[in-house]
Structure 1
Amino acid sequence: MEFLDSEIMKHFMHSAPVNIFFKDTECKYCFVSEICDMVSAGENGSIVGKTDLEVQKFSEIGKMYYEDDKKILATGEGSQYINEFLMEDGKSLYFEIKKNAVRNENGNIIGIVGIVDNVTERVRLEKNVEELSIIDGLTGVYNRNYLKYRVEEKKKQLIFPFTVIMSDCNYLKEVNDQFGHEYGDILLKIVAGTLKEEIPEGSPVIRMGGDEFMILGNGITEEKASELMTNIQESLKQKSKEKIPLSLAMGSYTVQDKDFCFDEICHKADMRMYEDKKRTKADEGVEIIE
């Protein structure tokens, strides 16, 4: 194939379906096929001769790009990642960046070549699929997958004191046995809706399976948790029907700082919930067989 001269090569690169860029050994742009809205091109409309520290509108991302460039130049190892840009309208744009070191015929690193691809639609679709996978189809609250996919991420955003509230429907089996599972489903929907109504925003409600629900209480003190549980019980009592008695066994456990074991506080809240269930059954003269 006939060798392409530099001008023709530029036409090819400007027509590429992704944004192509070259940088020198000082992390400065030598070429970029497209100037996007995420950078400040200056009066001459160009970012050539500048680093990401100078041109990125999001300074933290500019710093991260620059440090990544220096690492590539030092090690010769490429990189690949997706960055989120939160826009003024509250929506996010996502760009995937891939970069490799460029070596000359002697094996010396002489710069960086990279591409930038707008993957916003792909990421949004992936997030929608993930969101569907963590929502309980019957009640509309989160399901157990939430703990699998989100808890480690959310631990970094916890507000202390932090409280776990465990709850279990007292009469689901009786409702199912006497009136059918369709009434049991109605019971679960009402309970889930009540929990969402009473629990402050930012504290996820999770259906753990069957008739058991968990609440992750951000910024909820032990006293506040007790008040919330009382309010929930009162609200359920008012919503009870003859065929659908609404009542929860509930228990909570509160920690004051990040030095805690998540499984341990869930277990302690669960034990307190079980003690509450035993008291309820004892008041009704029903024996619980362990």
Structure 2
Amino acid sequence: MCALVNGGKENSIIGKTDKEIQKNKELGQLYYEDDLKIIETGKGSDYISEFPFETGSLYYEIRKNPVFHQDKIIGIIGIVTDVTKQIRLEKELEELSFTDKLTGLYNRNYMEVRSKNYVRKDDFPTSLIMIDCNYLKEVNDHLGHEYGDLLLQRIANSIQETISKESIAIRVGGDEFLILCPHHDHQQAEKLIEQLQESFHSKTDNILKLDAAFGYYTAMDDTLPFKEAFYIADKNMYAHKKIIHQQRNHK
């Protein structure tokens, strides 16, 4: 632990404050302020601290309590426990619970959590783009679900390759996808849809045709909750899907 804190030996930290021994001065200040609070209130603290390294972060649970003598606080005793394995496992499980196994995109579980705070004030305008993959049923019926899965994977890959780094792609379920696009107004949302259509077309081959219906809603502020914004984007997507079906039937 001493090596983590300041790269020194055990006796190098005796009699020194966290501000003096911590290589990370910001962490040292936080720990020092926590010690002052314990001395002031007489109440202990319990928290997990992260130590970032190039090979990955290490996590330690730090428990500190005041030491009393004749009703006076004369010091602080602390216990440090390595909880790296536990935290890493929790993060892996959380990532798995939020990831769609087939496409690698976020899943509906993530959407439910994100919906509580789907857009921040500095992200406006934000567009929600709904995508419904066409021909999935036909592919499943005529070529089998293996090819249907491949179609969804190609759609997902095209989405990931086309959207910006700050945008988030989610497989809502079945053949439906949602993209949350911060800093995208109406024109930028429509431009992104055009780019997605071009990407789908470029990845179409003699076996699988990548095609989809699109709908979007652009939030200029936070007056409309996620559920209603999602409903509008979804409704617009189904309107586009209806037009596509009419065109196909006409042909």
- Pair in the same fold by TM > 0.5: yes
Aligned to 1:253: 217
Classify 1:152/1:40 alpha carbon distance in 2 versus 1 (closer, same or farther; 3 Å): farther
Task: Describe how 1:68-83 pairs up with structure 2 within 5 A.
Answer: 68-83=34-49
Higher mean alpha-carbon deviation, 266-275 vs 118-127, is at 118-127
Partner Cα distance (1:152, 1:70) in 2:
36
The CA deviation at 1:191 is 0.8
Give the distance between the partners of 1:204 and 1:61, measured in 2 at CA.
31
Computing the radius of gyration over CA atoms, which structure comes out larger, 1 or 2? 1
SS of 2:218's equivalent in the other structure is: strand
TM-score (structure 2 length as normaliser): 0.82
Match of 2:22 among 56, 59, 62: 56
Amino acid at match of 1:186: L
- Asked whether the 8 Å contact 1:40–1:56 carries over to 2, the reply is no
Equivalent residue letter for 2:180: L
Q: 1:73 to 1:121 in 2, by over 3 A?
A: same
Which residue of 46, 51, 54 maps to 1:85?
Answer: 51
**Is residue 191 of structure 2 the alignment partner of residue 199 of structure 1?**
no
Deviation at 1:90, TM superposition (A): 7.1
Match of 2:60 among 71, 90, 95: 95
Q: Which residue of 2 aligns with 1:29?
A: none
Gaps of 5+ in 1: 1-33
Distance 1:66 1:53 in 2: 6
TM-score (norm 1): 0.73
Return the offset for 1:154: 8.1
Q: 1:115 offset after TM fit, Å? A: 1.6
Matches within 5 A, 1:73-222: 73-87=39-53, 89=54, 91-104=56-69, 106-148=70-112, 159-222=123-186
Change in Cα spacing, 1:156 to 1:57, as seen in structure 2 (3 Å) is: farther
> 1:62/1:197 Cα in 2 relative to 1: closer, same or farther (>3 Å)?
same
Q: How far apart, in 2, do the equivalents of 1:100 and 1:224 lie?
A: 55
Identity of aligned residues (%): 47
Higher helix share: 2
Amino acid aligned to 1:38? V
Distance in 2 between the 1:157 and 1:147 partners?
19
Q: Which runs of 5+ in 2 are unaligned?
A: none
Alpha carbons of structure 1 residues 62 and 143: separation in structure 2 relative to 1, 3 Å:
same
- Aligned-pair CA distance for 1:165: 1.5
- Aligned-partner Cα distance in 2 for 1:249–1:209: 15
Residue 157 of structure 1 deviates from its aligned partner by 10
CA distance in 2, matches of 1:213, 1:244: 18
Deviation at 1:207, TM superposition (A): 0.9
**Corresponding residue for 2:5?**
38
After TM superposition, give the deviation of residue 200 of structure 1 in Å.
Answer: 1.8
Report the AA paired with residue 35 of structure 1. Answer: C
1:138 is matched by which residue type in structure 2? L
Residue of structure 2 equivalent to 1:224: 188
SS at match of 1:38: helix
Where 1:100 maps in the other structure, the secondary structure is: strand
After superposition, the Cα gap between the structure-2 partners of 1:280 and 1:154, relative to the gap in structure 1 and judged at 3 Å, is: closer
- For CA contacts below 8 A with separation 6 or more, give which structure has more relative contact order: 2
2:239 alignment counterpart: 275
Following the alignment from structure 2 to structure 1, what is the Cα–Cα distance between the partners of residues 67 and 6? Answer: 24
Q: Taking structure 1 as reference, are residues 90 and 252 closer, same or farther at Cα in structure 2, changes over 3 Å only?
A: farther
User: What's the RMSD between the two structures over aligned residues?
Assistant: 3.1
**AA at the equivalent of 2:4:** D
Q: Which amino acid aligns with 1:216?
A: L
Counterpart of 2:35, as a letter, is: D
- Within 1, Cα distance between the matches of 2:227 and 2:122? 15
Counterpart residue type for residue 215 of structure 2: G
Question: What CA distance in whole angstroms lies between the structure 2 residues aligned with 1:252 and 1:244?
Answer: 25
The Cα shift of 1:168 comes to 1.0
